[in-house]
Amino acid sequence: MKPLVTLALACALFSGVIAWIGSIKNGKKCFTCVGNDDCIGIQECEGYEDRCLKSTVFFTAFYKVTTKGCASKTECSGAKNSGTAIIGREMSCCEENLCNNALRIGQSVLFLLLVPLASVILFN
């Protein structure tokens, strides 16, 4: 009976250590939100969450919901675009801090340069 009690205590202790490791902040930061609001909140990732996630579910052609936050490598291994929702789903993961933002600085600078150029060409 004593070895069984010792084994049960060891398992309980091990489970507690694993849960504790999973709640330690690891230095990774990701943008976070649920819904279609501006995703400017920042989440500090914990434990094995070593990637940033962006997932968009399309319910109709005109309605989508985007979720952003921290994810583990295991969660991201299933990050494939699919048609499992009513219309579809887009899911992507990245490894840099705050990399799950909608628009990167380089893209916005390019946009700011191309719009005036297009206006000059079209309206002259």
The residues facing 88 across adjacent strands are 58
User: How far is it, in rounded angstroms, from Cα 79 to Cα 40?
Assistant: 22
Domain extent listing, the chain: 27-123
What is the per-residue pLDDT across 17-74, written as a single tens digit (0 to 9) for each? Answer: 444 445 799 999 999 998 766 778 999 999 999 999 999 888 888 888 899 999 999 9
State the pTM of this model. 0.59
Task: Give the model's pLDDT for residue 31.
Answer: 95
Report phi then psi at 16, rounded to 5. -65, -40
Q: Which helix (H) or strand (E) holds 97?
A: none
Map residue 42 onto helix, strand or coil: strand
Fold of the 27-123 domain: CD59 (2.10.60)
